[in-house]
Amino acid sequence: MRQIKPVVSERLPELLRRMPKAELHMHIEGSLEPELMFALAARNGLTVPYPDVAALRRAYVFNNLQEFLDVYHAGTLVLRTEQDFYDMCWAYLVRAAADHVLHTEIFFDTQTHTSHGLSADVVINGLHRACADAQEQLGISASLILCFLRHLSEHEAFEALEQALPYRDKLVGIGLASSELGHPPEKFAKVFARARALDFRLVAHAGEEGPPAYIWSALDVLKVERIDHGVQALRDPALVTRLAFERIPLTVCPLSNLKLKVFPTLAQHNLGRMLQAGLVATVNSDDPAYFGGYINENYTQTFAALGLTAQHAYQLAHNSFAASFIDASAKQAFQDRLVEVFETFE
Ligand code: HPA
Ligand code: ZN
């Protein structure tokens, strides 16, 4: 890895904000800010069960993943039209571009919305149109990853996959999200095999709250290329050796881990130890509207809490491009821009 010249600690937040980066773990439904939620509810003749934005924000206190998922699911009820999905995705892309995100791979699911009576095309077309407009108008590159909901059955995941196939060209990959404990990756062995046969890139949430065994089976049974979260890997030295040796990226989300009480404080987060162990870790926002920050807040707060340096910043941003599903020449171009910012930063 390139040696980066030291940056004084007062200047580090500015470098973190300004450095080019990719975001690889962000659920678009988790970017729905309370203000937009109320606006969409009004547009669709619906009500939000809170008196105002401030009251809704005050409800964003969680003890674990499931408590969050229940609130997050309630928030998706305001999404009814293709334009709603467009507006939500556009708002995120404007925010990401302001944070110097050059490329983003956006998670979404269709099962939440089809269970509310929408069809998959409304979801996918709205999100895709926002991504296309953002490339043109904001210069940010964006692709879409369809996540299956693991608390539902594999049969239902197969249905979601079949419904998405007419839009195959608008999707880069398949992921696995929602309640982790009790729903191990191997529950989805067959549907991931089918997705692999269809040439989708594969990722899965594993080792957020779940044990290292779930990371092993995401790799060995689902054959995913990246692990989402993966922070529990450090409990298993043999797994750490494998992840480092095979250079399997981990999309870490520090503020999410803090809000969902995976770690009691940010100072106890293991991101620094992951890098120390040679893991290909990245920093991401997960559900920024709910967890108190977009990607730059994840970087600045975590660096302050852990005392990480400009060298770590370069490593993490470099990893984010390396771990992305863009072609080799685009990766190189983004990494060249990264080097340029580090070399010219005063
Ligand atoms: N974990 C699992 N499922 C999710 C998450 C998460 O952090 N965010 C949105 N869906
Ligand atoms: Zn997630």
CA distance 315 to 336: 13
Amino acid residing at 132: A
Helix and strand totals (H; E) in the chain: 17, 8
- Any atom of ligand 1 within 6 Å of the Cβ of 27: yes
- Any atom of ligand 1 within 6 Å of the Cβ of 30: yes
What is the pLDDT at residue 1? 84
Residues of the chain with pLDDT under 70: none
Q: What are phi and psi of 209, to 5 degrees?
A: -105, -25
Assess contact for 154 and 221: CB atoms under 8 A. no
Task: Give kind and range of the element (H or E) at residue 167.
Answer: none
CA distances from 299 to 21, 22, 252, 303 (A): 11, 12, 11, 6
Say how many CA atoms lie within 13 Å of 254 toward its Cβ: 27
CA distances from 273 to 57, 123, 168, 173, 343 (A): 32, 38, 38, 29, 26
**CA quadruple 326, 330, 332, 333: dihedral positive or negative?**
negative
CA distance 248 to 309: 23
**Fold adopted by 12-344:** TIM Barrel (3.20.20)
What is the best residue among 287, 290, 291, 298 to mutate for testing ligand 1's pocket, by most ligand atoms within 8 Å of CB? Answer: 287
Which runs of E-coded beta strand occur in the chain?
21-27, 101-108, 141-149, 173-177, 201-206, 226-229, 249-252, 280-283
DSSP state of 231: G
pLDDT digits 0-9 by tens, 222-249: 999 999 999 999 999 999 999 999 999 9
Q: Where are the chain's structural domains?
A: 12-344
CA 36 to centroid of chain Cα atoms: 20
Say how many CA atoms lie within 13 Å of 95 toward its Cβ: 20
Amino acid residing at 190: K
- Any atom of ligand 1 within 6 Å of the Cβ of 150: no
Choose, from 208, 209, 225, 343, the residue flagged as catalytic: 208
- Any atom of ligand 1 within 6 Å of the Cβ of 184: no
The pTM score is: 0.98
For the chain, state the CA radius of gyration: 19
What is the pLDDT at residue 320? 98
CA of 33 to the centre of ligand 1 (A): 16
DSSP state of 79: -
What is the pLDDT at residue 217? 98
Say how many CA atoms lie within 13 Å of 157 toward its Cβ: 24
CA distance 242 to 216: 10
CA distance 212 to 144: 27
pLDDT digits 0-9 by tens, 154-209: 999 999 999 999 999 999 999 999 999 999 999 999 999 999 999 999 999 999 99
Q: Which residue has the tokens 């922070």?
A: 231
The pair of three-digit structure tokens given for residue 321, joined into one six-digit string:
């491009």
Partners of 226 in beta bridges: 203
Annotated catalytic residue 208:
yes
- For residue 29, which atom of ligand 1 is closest to its CA? 9
Other Cβ atoms less than 10 A from the Cβ of 237: the count is: 11
The pair of three-digit structure tokens given for residue 239, joined into one six-digit string:
């797994």
